[in-house]
Amino acid sequence: MRRILLIEDDPVLRHNMVELLTLENYDVDDAQDGEEGVRKALESHHDLVLCDIMMPKMDGYQVFEALKSHPRTASIPFLFLTAKVDKEDVRRGMVMGADDYIQKPAPIEELLQAIEVRLRKKRLQLEQEQQRSEALCSELASRIPHELITPLNSILGYAELIIEEEPSNLSHQEIVPMACAIQSAAERLMETIHKYLLYNELQFLRFTGNRSGSGEIRDNLCTITRHIGSDVAKKWKRIEDMEIALPEYPIHACIPYFSHVVRQLTDNACKFSAAGSPITLQCRLTGNSITLSVSDQGRGIPAENLDQLGAFQQFERHHYEQQGSGLGLAIVKLILQHSQGSLDIQSIPDQGTTVTLGFPVTVDAP
């Protein structure tokens, strides 16, 4: 049964609407003012909110802003109830993102039609989300075996060579390259597993609206950026190519998963640009926003592909041999959603790419 939250300060009107909607097979939860309405909306699930505008304590606009700012209630269809439909009020509500205005007392047919239209639209959105989720699961099932088996083959192959050979027949110079190959394959395997686990964690946080996550400690973001940038450059043997530009003062802030974002972007810059070409990693504070940007002079991303970046997407794979799950930027985008950040990608084929992320944060004074 579909559940509606009715927020109305007029007790007679509220009682009548509850009875009418109940007769139409809706499960109705009601609140006598805005504060109670917000509390009930956050405490339990509702499929739609009907809310009066003129109320004591919190008016309808304040209720709307409170619910839209919370991940758990942000996507619930919201209909305003108003005794008079003023053009300025309607314009204000629509700019804010309200789904509709209903003038009260509204004929029951008009009220039910407005409710059904919004519930049907929400249902279609959920069905599309489900289809995308199913497609994602299918892609996941097809990619996991390859991404796990490839490094495992290297590990098993080199281990078998060492086991089958007489220890006395293998010199130190022969064993070290094999051990390095095993280590490299194991690290790739571990990285792949961590990416899948992180992707699942972020999807869970996204669907549940949970804002918790790793990185609750206020870290020095400059130290993190410098350390990870240097580590990735060393991994790709690009130490001379990497320029890390940081402010002279430390930036202390809490950004969940910040270290993963830095590692992913610098790793991509190294992977998709030639050795000897410059890579610039920057972290800076602008007002109440942390900006992280990574620039390379690599092969770039075609303009028609920029809007298609998503999970498991790797462009021009038939032209370039490349390893990886294709989850990197999808994870970055989920982290940005989790942190309410922004993403800007500027790329020119054969000239390079600049990825800029913005994180709204409260930082400690330098």
Closest by Cα among 268, 282, 195 to 238: 268
What does the DSSP 8-state code read for residue 341? -
Tell me the pLDDT band of 318, cut-offs 50, 70 and 90.
very low
Tell me the pLDDT band of 352, cut-offs 50, 70 and 90.
very high
302 has a pLDDT exceeding 60: yes
In tens, the pLDDT along 111-151 reads: 898 899 889 988 888 888 777 767 766 666 666 667 778 88
How far apart, in whole angstroms, are the C-alpha atoms of residue 111 and residue 51? 13
What would the mean pLDDT of 234-239 be, rounded to a whole number? 94
317 has a pLDDT exceeding 60: no
Please name the fold of domain 136-208.
Helix Hairpins (1.10.287)
Lowest mean pLDDT among 20-24, 101-105, 262-266, 362-366: 362-366
Q: Are 45 and 18 contacting, i.e. CB atoms less than 8 angstroms apart?
A: no
Tell me the pLDDT band of 262, cut-offs 50, 70 and 90.
very high
Averaged confidence pLDDT in the chain: 82
316 has a pLDDT exceeding 60: no
352: alpha, beta or left, given left = phi > 0 and alpha = psi -120 to 50? Answer: left
Residues contacting 365, CB < 8 A, separation 6+ = none
Q: Where are the domains of the chain?
A: 3-106, 136-208, 219-360
Cα 353-354-358 angle, rounded to 5 deg: 150
Q: What is the CATH number of domain 219-360?
A: 3.30.565.10
In tens, the pLDDT along 179-203 reads: 899 998 898 888 888 888 888 888 7
Looking at domain 3-106, which CATH architecture does it have?
3-Layer(aba) Sandwich (3.40)
- Residue 31: its pLDDT value, please? 94
In tens, the pLDDT along 41-99 reads: 999 999 999 999 888 888 888 999 899 888 788 888 888 888 766 656 655 656 666 66
- Bigger pLDDT: 307 vs 236: 236
